Amino acid sequence: MVQSSLNHTAVPSLGNRAPVELFTGLQCPTPLKEFYLPETGELQTVPDSDAIDEFLEKLRSSIHDMHKDVEDQREKQRLLNKKRQRGENLVNLQWATLF
């Protein structure tokens, strides 16, 4: 069990590849093909590493977009505060408030 784990674990010295992957030329299987979910009482299949990479990229992109929206809102508020400080008269009307 331990030897199998060592052979199937990616290591930095091999370019983040597992020894079994380099020696056989095959993709390294996940250590756990399935794992048990107690709340459903079923086995859940583990996605392959390519799918996990796609999930992570989507997550990173989503987090980046979320932070960009917050930064944009902060910049907008900063500029409004700067204008108020200079004494400029700001009117904030929206179309719905006119009717």
Instruction: Show me where the domains of the chain are located.
Output: 1-46, 47-88
**Mean pLDDT, range 18-27, rounded to an integer:** 83
- For the entire predicted model, the pTM comes to 0.42
Contacts of 86 (CB under 8 A, 6+ apart): none
Q: State the SS3 of 29-91.
A: CCCCCEEEECCCCEEEECCCHHHHHHHHHHHHHHHHHHHHHHHHHHHHHHHHHHHHHHCCCCC
Name the more confident of 74 and 8.
74
Q: Distance between CA atoms of 11 and 53, rounded to whole angstroms?
A: 17
pLDDT digits (tens, 9 = 90+) for 26-80: 877 666 666 777 888 888 777 777 788 888 899 999 999 999 999 999 999 999 8
Name the more confident of 69 and 96.
69
Residue 40 backbone phi and psi in degrees, to 5: -100, -20
